[in-house]
Each structure stands twice: as C-alpha cells, then as structure tokens.
Amino acid sequence: MEQFKTQKRKRKGRVTMTTVGRMAGVSQVTVSRALSEPDKVSPETLKRIQDTIEQTGFVPNAIAGALASQRSNLVTALVPSLTNIVYSSFMKTFNDSMKEANYQILLSETGFNPADEQEAIAAHLSRRPDAVLLTGIHHSSQTRRILLGADIPVVEVWDITDSPIDMCVGFSHVEAGRSVADYVHNKGYETAATVTANDERAHRRRDAFTSRLKSIGASPVIAHDCVGPASIESGRNALSDLVDRQGFRGGVVFCSSDVLAHGVIIEAQARKIRMPDQMAIIGFGDQEFAAHLEPALTTVRVDRERLGEEAAEAILARMRDEPIARTVIDIGFQLMVRASA
C-alpha cells in the first residue's frame, strides 16, 4: 500500500511594507505615506506602489494603523440571531450606511444569553473597534462596565430606555403590547391567548398585553411559552397545546413573531378552524410574507430599515464629535390590520 506522508506547508515569509518598498524601489516610509496620505506621493510613485501591492497581495496592518491614528475604522455589531430577518434587515441598512462612511462591520451572533453576549463583547473590544452596536437594552452589569470603560460610542437598538449606555434607537415593547390589547378589546374579542418565544423583549410584550386586558376586565389570557426559538413548528405545537391541553376554543391569539403566527395559522387550517370568525391571529414584525398569507396576517410593523439608518447616523455623529440632540430615538411602531384579525 502506498504510504502518504503529511507535508507541512512551506512558509515563504509574510509580505511586509518593507518588502513592498524594496520591490517598488522606495522606502518603507513612502509606502506608509502612500497608504495613509496618497495625495502626498507623486502619481508615478503611487502607481508603482499600488502595482506592487496588487502583485504581492500585501494587506496593510490595520492594528498598527489604528495604534498610530487611534482609529481602526471597524465597528462591531452583536445580534441575537443571524438568520432572523428582523435583525438581518436592520443590519443591512446599518452596514450600508457605515460602509459608505468607510467603516467595516465585525458581526457576531450572541443568542439570548447575557453571559454569551458579555463574552462576545469582550472579544470584540479586544479588536479595538471605534464603536459598538448592541441589540436590546438589558445586559449584564459587567457588560455595562466594560463598555463604559472602553469610552467609545455605543448604540443599543430594537428597544428604548431612559438610561442607555450611550445612545439607543428603537421602540417601546410595552407600548406595543398594550396597543395590541387595546385593538383586541375594541374589536370585541372576549377571549385571548398568547404564543411567545424565549426572548425577554417578547415576554415584555406578552406581559403588557395581558396586563392591559386584565385592567379592562377581560377574561384571563391563556399563555403558551415556547422553549426554543420561534419557528413554524413551534407555532403549530403552540396552538395544539392551547386547544388540546388548555381548552382554548376561540378568540384571538397574539404571537410574539410572524413566524410563530404563520405556524398557528397552518395548524388552525389543519383543524378546519375558520379565521378570523372562530379564531383571530396577530403576529409581530411584519415580515415580507405576512401580507401574503391566507388569511393575510394582522401584525405590528417596525421600520427596520429606518432603525439601521438611525443607528448608523447616531454612531457617525458621535465619532464626528457632533452634538447629539437625542440620545433616545423612538421610531415607534404601526399596527398593520389585515384579514387574520
């Protein structure tokens, strides 16, 4: 049998700024100047250096440049989920705005565990970013301490508070829950249930919805709390639990996301439940598919694109040392009334 030997990769030596200078026939200082202040280098020399960089694949040391300029041109962002359209959509506009201002984004997924978020933030800060975007306003005390100690712009998004770490852009989850409850009451629904994902913000909306209905004398709200992340499967399972185990026979179901609401609708259709006559469904998020379900989903819309733009502008203004008119930016929400409720 032929024997195979493990071969180590031969190292050719890293291409450095000095290497580029030698190949281009200039000093390392000239190469550095061409990278940082190209207008101070003659066009002929600049062209020669640029051609050499292209040939060698040289990548400037951003960390070394940051030490000299006190700027890394890197902004870190942390979101609970990379696959959830709620977060990816506002990150798209945030990234576009920051890229236009010549900043790169370092993005990480944190889940919903404050300890995991704290670990990720510490790792990001070790890269010396110029600013940080966080999702939500509830963090560990240590997270707040290290962010305050970093002394860089911080914007918290998807929520608002009177005491942000630095700035926040979002909306009131409590008011969103109350508004849905008021709509439900005004439409005359006598019974209600909730289907809620394992997310602190979703819990606040659920609790506000439930408390508002209780305060106006409605029947007690039946609750189903999902163990894992929101999915169509967990939405179907939730309605099965509400109907089969908890005895929910009709009324309105307020879901913490459109994905859960989609699952509830599918399960209701499988059980031949007429919507909205026998059961009304309300979601949250107004994802792209919401208006195209059958029945079209009544849901709460948050302008995610605007949220990303406002967050980027807040950070850029802070980095330009411009006065900040508002450290708390409430973009509000809108109830999108459709056929499901």
With bands split at pLDDT 50, 70 and 90, how would you rate the model's confidence at 11? very low
Residue 125: pLDDT band (50, 70, 90) is confident
pLDDT tens track for 212-266? 999 998 889 999 999 978 899 999 999 999 999 999 999 999 999 999 999 999 9
Say which residue the tokens 């409850």 belong to: 181
167 vs 163: CA distance, rounded Å: 9
Residue pair 255/290 in contact (Cβ under 8 Å)? The answer is no
| Segment among 258-262, 319-323, 327-331 with least mean pLDDT | 319-323
Q: Which residues is 134 bridged to in the sheet?
A: 78, 156
CA distance 8 to 107: 33
What is the architecture of the domain spanning 17-60?
Orthogonal Bundle (1.10)
Residues 208 and 177: beta-carbon distance below 8 Å: yes
Range 72-171+304-332: architecture per CATH: 3-Layer(aba) Sandwich (3.40)
Residue 70's pLDDT band, with cuts at 50, 70 and 90, is: low
pLDDT band at 9; cut points 50, 70, 90: very low
Identify the CATH homologous superfamily for domain 173-301.
Response regulator (3.40.50.2300)
How far apart, in whole angstroms, are the C-alpha atoms of residue 85 and residue 62?
31
Amino acid occupying residue 46: L
Short-list 79, 78, 89, 77, CA closest to 258: 89
Residue-level pLDDT at 16: 82
The domain segmentation of the chain, as residue ranges, is 17-60, 72-171+304-332, 173-301
Per-residue pLDDT at 59 exceeds 80: no
User: Could you tell me the strand order of the sheet in which 167-170 lies?
Assistant: 104-109, 74-79, 131-135, 154-157, 167-170, 328-330
**pTM over 0.85, yes/no:** no
More confident residue, 299 or 24: 299
- How would residue 333 be classed by pLDDT, with cut points 50, 70 and 90? very high
Q: How far is CA 201 from CA 66, 172, 286, 288, in A?
A: 36, 10, 16, 21
Helix (H) or strand (E) holding 78: strand 74-79
DSSP labels for 185-210?
A: HHTT---EEEEE-S-HHHHHHHHHHH
| pLDDT over 90 at 57, yes or no | no
Residue % of the chain over a pLDDT of 90? 65
CB 76 within 8 A of CB 103: no
Range from 12-26, 230-244, 305-319, 325-339 carrying the lowest mean pLDDT: 12-26
List Cα–Cα distances, 119 to 109, 150, 261, in angstroms: 11, 15, 33
Give the whole-angstrom CA distance, residue 203 versus residue 177. Answer: 10
* Residue 316 exposure: Cα atoms within 13 Å on the Cβ side: 17
pLDDT digits (tens, 9 = 90+) for 95-110: 999 999 999 999 999 9
297: how many CB neighbours lie within 10 A of its CB?
Answer: 29
173-301 shares the fold of 72-171+304-332: yes
Q: Give the integer Cα–Cα distance in Å for 198 and 17.
A: 50
Q: Which residue has the higher pLDDT, 66 or 333?
A: 333
Residue 4 has a pLDDT of 45
Most confident stretch, 31-45, 57-71, 131-145, 274-288: 274-288
